[in-house]
Structure 1
Amino acid sequence: MTLLPVDQALERILDGVKALPGESVRIEDAGGRVLANPLSAMRTQPPFHASAMDGYAVRAEDVQTPRGLRLRVIGESAAGNRFHGVVGIGEAVRIFTGAPVPEGADTILIQENATSLDDGFIEATSSVAIGRHIRKAGLDFHDGDVVLEQGRLLGPAGIGLAAAAGHAHLSVTERPLVAIIATGDELVRPGETCGPDQIVASNGFAIGALAKNDGARVLDLGIVNDNSAAISAAVRKAADAGAHVLVTLGGASVGARDLVRQALLEAGMSLDFWKIAMRPGKPLMFGRLGEMRVLGLPGNPVSSLVCAQLFLRPLVARLGQRNHTPDLRAAVLATPLRENDERRDYIRASVAAGPEGLIATPFPLQDSSMLTTLAAANALIVREPGAPAAEPGSRCRVLMLG
């Protein structure tokens, strides 16, 4: 059986995937969400000519004498409480940062350049050009301007801009729902007592954390024993919950107790592929069950997480209208690597900056059960099928993980 290349597997997983529809949420709940539509301003900011400094609103032609010019103070303009009169010849209005500039004034004499006199006058100690220290109406944006583009991931600045533009609710892309089923009689949850032949389940928590980091909601359907009826019941729960993606962990290989693939087929899944040319992660399964996409990840922890990095992350990102570009970089090897076989290899490594670029040091042990090396790795060395043996100093590609 010819194994499916990694790039073709990803193409088939993403084929036909479109971003989920938008939903309206309160602006205080929109942080970390993705805008479903372009966002236009509902107001002009600032809505009036505003002072950028504390001082006096004056006519520029009245303060061209370097020293000794006296101006009569006729009122005050504060933020939220403007001066309603008109500034005439030889007059000034006390003004504070953010306050509307009164009619008749065309510049701001900052308070450091004005001396207050006892008789209601000030003395200007410096000349000021027209428009100095005035923020013109619409300096930031105008009513109707597109201030945030569709697909924008909303961080603090984006949320602040949306609020300033007058929006109390935002249309954001629905978050994908990823249902996770871990299978195996040997598995127990963290904190539970392990039998002599059991291990603690870790994959579901790791995959759930990865999916959440990419904006997904996660439905943890727990550990399902190696029982066809139990697996089928868990699959139905995922479908009934409206999961966009079902991730199964383990049980998709060819052993007598690997029951997941058959249970999914009996549930009506259209199987696309179930083996790919990569290491770790050869027994990867993909299919469709109605509108739900099914990704069967290997049971070995490292295989599961590497496959999730390569296939689940782009799928969740596409559904959630997020950008996902693998961080591939050039590096040189610190230690030798043997020739590769017909599968693309993803080798856990530590990558650090060297005098002439990145240096990749592969870990000596690459067993797919070893989470310690994956947790210590900040990159995967990517080796193509049939790559010849490589000596230290040879160039390589690395997929950064952090």
Structure 2
Amino acid sequence: MNLMPVDEALARILDGAAPDSQAEMLPLAQSFGRVLASDLKALRTHPPFAASAMDGYAVRAEDAQAGAVLKLQGESAAGHGFDGTLSAGSAVRIFTGAPVPAGADTVVIQENTERIDGGSVRITAAAEPGRHIRAAGIDFEEGKTGLEAGRLLDAGAITFTAAMNHATLPVYRQPRIAILATGDELRLPGETLGPGQIIASNTYGVGALARGAGAQVFDLGIAEDRMEALDGALDSAIAQRADVLVTIGGASVGDHDLVQKALTARGMALDFWKIAMRPGKPLMSGRLGNMRVLGLPGNPASSLVCAHLFLEPLITRLAGLPDPARVKSAVLGRDLPSNDLRQDYLRGDLSRDPSGALVASPMPRQDSSLMKVFADARCLIIRPPLAPAAKAGEACDVLVLRD
């Protein structure tokens, strides 16, 4: 069968992916990193009054001529404003953030004044009207939209929403990702291994990537190579209301590869499997009712490469988050041979040359079963299908894993 190009596979996996229209309300303190599901209007005006931007004296500009001596009439501090109206020829001591008294139209900073015994202050530099005053509502006004739907709630947005007096926020819910490892040979970390057994490590790496992308992850454990075990795991994924079921291993068509058989027997509409990439050729994609299914290869590097390329963008799309943009331009650190019909993702190191340009150097070993190589890699060097031989110093694209 013809192998599907990577770009087409990604487009089909992302087709129709969008956040759930049913938002959830979260306390403000728990909303960091989530995405706003609807426009947010200010519940108050800020500042709610004309406020001083500096420490100094609130005065009338016509009184604040160089050399003028003004009588102190009182004090205005944050939370304790001056109760009254400023009189002609007078000044009110004022502090940053405090309300500007009625009758005052400028603030003279304290560096441009001298205190005089007897409760007066001398102006040493004339003040202009409106100086050092923050007008009421200059930041935002009650009833006006402050943040629009789709905004990532970063530190600045969280601060803003708190200032607008919102204690809870409508956010897109996190996609529910169920992860199922398959294979009689698999055991959990910490367990004693028998002959021919290995640790089910992929679950943890894929789960960490999914959480980092904004998902809620459910570990369905390890299913043995039996239809009954796989059926039970599918029941669990459906009960968890998973948006995406991620299977690891067993998606090929060998005698012991039962995942695809079990899913199709339950009614999965298979979209495709096998794509023109290395590592990661046996990738499966389909739908089981409302649940998307993504079958990752069992080899660790294959599984992680596919998770970076396909699962992470799917999660961010379902969460309403910006698409990850981690492909950067670099130059090769060593020569590479020509490529065949499959798109290669070579595990590589990253450094910078004297000009600051990224230099991507492929690891010497690229076997898809090697986990230390992937852990050491800082990037995936992307080699398009039929790419000609390339020399060190030539341009290339890399997907950055860690900078």
- Judge conservation of contact 2:316–2:324 (CA < 8 Å) in 1: no
- Please identify, of 117-126 and 167-176, the stretch whose mean Cα deviation from structure 2 is larger: 117-126
1:6 corresponds to: 6
TM-score (normalizing by structure 1): 0.96
1:45 corresponds to: 46
2:393 corresponds to: 393
Q: Structure 1, residues 229-259: CA drift from partner, whole Å, max 9, x if none?
A: 1111111111111100000000111221111
Q: In structure 1, what is the Cα distance between the partners aligned to 2:29 and 2:358?
A: 41
Shift of 1:362: 0.5
Cα–Cα, structure 1 residues 394 and 56, in superposed 2: closer, same or farther, change >3 Å?
closer
Alignment pair present for 1:358 and 2:358: yes
Q: Structure 1, residues 253-303: CA drift from partner, whole Å, max 9, x if none?
A: 122111111111111111111111110001100110111000000000100
Q: In structure 2, what is the Cα distance between the partners aligned to 1:146 and 1:300?
A: 49
SS at the partner of 1:256? coil
The 5 Å alignment of 1:228-307 reads 228-307=227-306
1:125 corresponds to: 124
Alignment pair present for 1:173 and 2:172: yes
Specify the code of the residue in structure 2 equivalent to 1:19.
P
SS at the partner of 2:358? strand
Q: In structure 1, what is the Cα distance between the partners aligned to 2:248 and 2:115?
A: 77
1:187 corresponds to: 186
Q: In structure 2, what is the Cα distance between the partners aligned to 1:304 and 1:222?
A: 16
Shift of 1:322: 0.7
Q: In structure 2, what is the Cα distance between the partners aligned to 1:38 and 1:208?
A: 32
Alignment pair present for 1:310 and 2:309: yes
Shift of 1:355: 3.8
Shift of 1:115: 2.8
Q: Structure 1, residues 311-341: CA drift from partner, whole Å, max 9, x if none?
A: 0011101100011143223322222222212
Q: In structure 1, what is the Cα distance between the partners aligned to 2:86 and 2:394?
A: 75
Shift of 1:7: 0.9
The 5 Å alignment of 1:148-163 reads 148-163=147-162
SS at the partner of 1:60? coil
Specify the code of the residue in structure 2 equivalent to 1:308.
A
Specify the code of the residue in structure 2 equivalent to 1:165.
M
Q: In structure 1, what is the Cα distance between the partners aligned to 2:209 and 2:324?
A: 15
Shift of 1:165: 0.9
Which portions of structure 1, spanning 4 or more consecutive aligned residues, are displaced by more than 4 angstroms? none
Specify the code of the residue in structure 2 equivalent to 1:352.
S
SS at the partner of 1:161? helix
Shift of 1:354: 1.8
Cα–Cα, structure 1 residues 194 and 78, in superposed 2: closer, same or farther, change >3 Å?
same
SS at the partner of 1:352? strand
SS at the partner of 1:48? coil
- Please identify, of 389-398 and 150-159, the stretch whose mean Cα deviation from structure 2 is larger: 389-398
Shift of 1:81: 2.1
Specify the code of the residue in structure 2 equivalent to 1:170.
L
- Judge conservation of contact 2:349–2:377 (CA < 8 Å) in 1: yes
Alignment pair present for 1:35 and 2:29: no
Specify the code of the residue in structure 1 equivalent to 2:50.
H
Shift of 1:136: 1.1
1:23 corresponds to: 24
Specify the code of the residue in structure 2 equivalent to 1:125.
T
- Judge conservation of contact 2:108–2:127 (CA < 8 Å) in 1: yes
Q: In structure 1, what is the Cα distance between the partners aligned to 2:254 and 2:401?
A: 32
Specify the code of the residue in structure 1 equivalent to 2:35.
V
Q: In structure 2, what is the Cα distance between the partners aligned to 1:360 and 1:114?
A: 61
Shift of 1:393: 2.9
- Please identify, of 154-163 and 78-87, the stretch whose mean Cα deviation from structure 2 is larger: 78-87
Alignment pair present for 1:146 and 2:145: yes
Specify the code of the residue in structure 2 equivalent to 1:12.
R
Q: In structure 1, what is the Cα distance between the partners aligned to 2:343 and 2:37?
A: 36
1:101 corresponds to: 100
2:328 corresponds to: 329
Q: In structure 1, what is the Cα distance between the partners aligned to 2:145 and 2:72?
A: 41
Q: In structure 2, what is the Cα distance between the partners aligned to 1:307 and 1:326?
A: 16
Q: In structure 1, what is the Cα distance between the partners aligned to 2:147 and 2:350?
A: 36
Q: In structure 2, what is the Cα distance between the partners aligned to 1:226 and 1:131?
A: 77
SS at the partner of 2:108? strand
1:213 corresponds to: 212
- Judge conservation of contact 2:70–2:90 (CA < 8 Å) in 1: yes
Structure 2 unmatched ranges of 5 or more: none
- Judge conservation of contact 2:332–2:392 (CA < 8 Å) in 1: yes
Shift of 1:392: 2.4
2:77 corresponds to: 78
Shift of 1:383: 1.1
Shift of 1:397: 1.9
The 5 Å alignment of 1:57-76 reads 57-64=58-65, 66-67=66-67, 69-76=68-75
Matched length: 400
- Judge conservation of contact 2:334–2:392 (CA < 8 Å) in 1: yes
